[in-house]
């Protein structure tokens, strides 16, 4: 039990502090020991209006969604640019939106997008090298190493060109989140100055995803910024095992879809009564009225080809006054070849 000082001892201690006979640092008395001086602890600054811990990776399996976005967006840009595009997901970090506005990356163009029916807005950020490179490609240029990154802001005409690619990014984002819920994102505004893009309050905690974009020799960076509170409705779904692997399930369905579509494809089917080989000289000497004879047995089965592959043997004949064939057996050579 700690000893309690009486009034006389308190007065004497205060007097010692005033006279400087006692150090005014904190005093600690270890068990069974004499009082020792301790270093005064430095007060820590706490901002009660903002959380002290970022939400680093508080949403499990969110990288699955962003991996899908990178894969789908690469396909979409490849179709739009008629060039092979590679997009790889990089670092995923958490920060306050004010930090992004104060210390932006080398932003060339920023596009805010809605997250309907979720609350809040997201932001796409294309760096300058990516912006000028994409404009060059959209206008018919190449991706050579002599690409110039101009020391100026993106113009209004260039911004409209890149805006169409951001719209494609919204469509891809909708598809990437389709396993979790239906999104209808769309570009609402484009800006070149981050401080003019006041779509979120400065203290909003956001998730920032970094993507590296490669088009030929052109290399750039794309950032995606989404408010943390917008993604909270998906937290429970992302925790479940089914949601984690739902993207893989969707990918495996492509094989089934392709197999189904192949069954509806049209392919030419040809009945081959015979083949004849002529020299170029013989072909050039042909005239109107010449008869070309084929050495084959009219009663012998003919080959039936699907495309360039002989698949069946058939018996030729007539039906309702028209030439017809009756399939009699699969081609034996085709069966041996599988």
Instruction: Look at 75-89, 206-220, 298-312 and tell me which has the smallest mean pLDDT.
Output: 298-312
- The pairs formed by 166-172 with CB atoms below 8 angstroms and a separation of 24 or more are 166/111, 166/113, 166/124, 166/126, 166/190, 168/73, 168/76, 168/77, 168/80, 169/73, 169/76, 169/113, 169/124, 170/113, 171/76, 172/69, 172/72, 172/73, 172/76
pLDDT tens digits, 129-153: 888 888 888 887 765 656 666 778 8
**How far are the Cα atoms of 41, 66, 78, 97 from residue 226, in angstroms, in the given order?**
39, 12, 25, 10
Closest to 158 in 3D by CA, of 188, 137, 185: 137
State the Cα angle at 184 between 182 and 185, rounded to 5°. Answer: 130
Burial category of 46 from C-beta neighbours within 10 Å (exposed 0-12, middle 13-18, buried 19 and up):
exposed
Q: What is the pLDDT of residue 223?
A: 92
Regarding predicted confidence, which is higher, 298 or 97? 97
Q: What is the spatial distance between Cα 223 and Cα 177, in angstroms, rounded to a whole number?
A: 17
Q: What is the CATH architecture of 62-260?
A: 3-Layer(aba) Sandwich (3.40)
210 or 98, which is more confident: 210
Give Cα 35 to chain centroid, integer Å.
63
The mean pLDDT of 305-332, rounded to a whole number, is: 83
Q: Are 170 and 186 in contact (CB under 8 A)?
A: yes
If one compares 161 and 20, the residue with the highest pLDDT of the two is: 161
Instruction: Give the whole-angstrom CA distance, residue 95 versus residue 226.
Output: 11
**187: pLDDT confidence band, cut at 50, 70 and 90?**
very high
Residues 175-184: tens digit of each pLDDT = 998 888 888 9
Residue 46 reports pLDDT greater than 80: no
Mean pLDDT of 315-328: 84
Residue 124 burial (C-beta neighbours within 10 Å; 0-12, 13-18, 19+): buried
- 169: confidence class by pLDDT, cuts 50, 70, 90: very high
CA distance to 98, 216, 219, 228, 234, per residue, from 204 (Å): 8, 37, 30, 8, 18
Full-model pTM: 0.56
pLDDT > 80? residue 112:
yes
Q: What is the pLDDT of residue 241?
A: 47
Residue 42, Cβ neighbours under 10 Å: how many?
A: 6
Is a pLDDT exceeding 90 seen at residue 211? yes
Chain centroid, CA 225 distance in Å? 13
pLDDT (0 to 100) of residue 8: 67
CA distances from 17 to 20, 25, 204 (A): 5, 10, 47
> Is 156 exposed, middle or buried, given 0-12, 13-18 or 19+ CB atoms closer than 10 A?
exposed
Of the candidates 196, 231, 238, the one whose C-alpha atom is nearest the C-alpha of residue 121 is 231
pLDDT at 324: 86
For the chain, the structural domain boundaries read 62-260, 269-283+296-336
């Amino acid at each position: 039990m700690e000893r309690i000082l009486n009034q006389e001892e308190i007065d004497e201690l205060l007097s010692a502090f005033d006279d400087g006979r006692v150090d005014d640092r904190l005093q600690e008395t270890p068990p069974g020991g004499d009082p020792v001086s301790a270093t005064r602890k430095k007060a820590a600054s706490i901002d009660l209006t903002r959380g002290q811990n970022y939400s680093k990776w508080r949403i499990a399996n969110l990288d699955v969604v962003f991996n899908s976005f990178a894969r789908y967006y690469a396909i979409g840009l490849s179709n739009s640019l008629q060039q092979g595009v590679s997009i790889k997901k990089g670092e995923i970090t958490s920060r306050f939106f004010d930090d992004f506005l104060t210390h932006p990356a080398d932003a060339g163009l920023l596009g805010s997008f809605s997250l309907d029916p979720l609350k809040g807005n997201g932001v796409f950020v294309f760096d300058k090298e990516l912006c000028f490179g994409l404009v060059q490609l959209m206008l018919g240029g190449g991706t050579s190493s002599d690409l110039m990154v101009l020391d100026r802001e993106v113009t209004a005409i260039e911004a409209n060109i890149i805006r169409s690619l951001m719209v494609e990014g919204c469509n891809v984002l909708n598809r990437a989140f389709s396993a979790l819920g239906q999104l209808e994102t769309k570009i609402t505004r484009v800006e070149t100055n981050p401080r003019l893009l006041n779509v979120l309050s400065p203290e909003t905690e956001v998730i920032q995803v970094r993507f590296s974009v490669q088009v030929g020799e052109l290399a750039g960076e794309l950032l995606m910024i989404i408010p943390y509170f917008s993604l909270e409705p998906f937290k429970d779904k992302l925790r479940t095992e089914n949601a984690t692997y739902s993207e893989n399930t969707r990918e495996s369905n492509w094989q089934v879809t392709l197999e189904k579509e192949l069954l509806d494809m049209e392919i030419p089917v040809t009945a081959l009564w015979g083949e004849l080989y002529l020299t170029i000289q013989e072909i050039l000497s042909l005239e109107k009225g010449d008869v070309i004879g084929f050495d084959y047995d009219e009663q012998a089965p003919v080959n039936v080809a699907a495309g360039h592959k002989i698949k069946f043997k058939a018996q030729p004949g007539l039906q309702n006054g028209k030439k017809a064939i009756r399939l009699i057996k699969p081609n034996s050579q085709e069966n041996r070849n599988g």
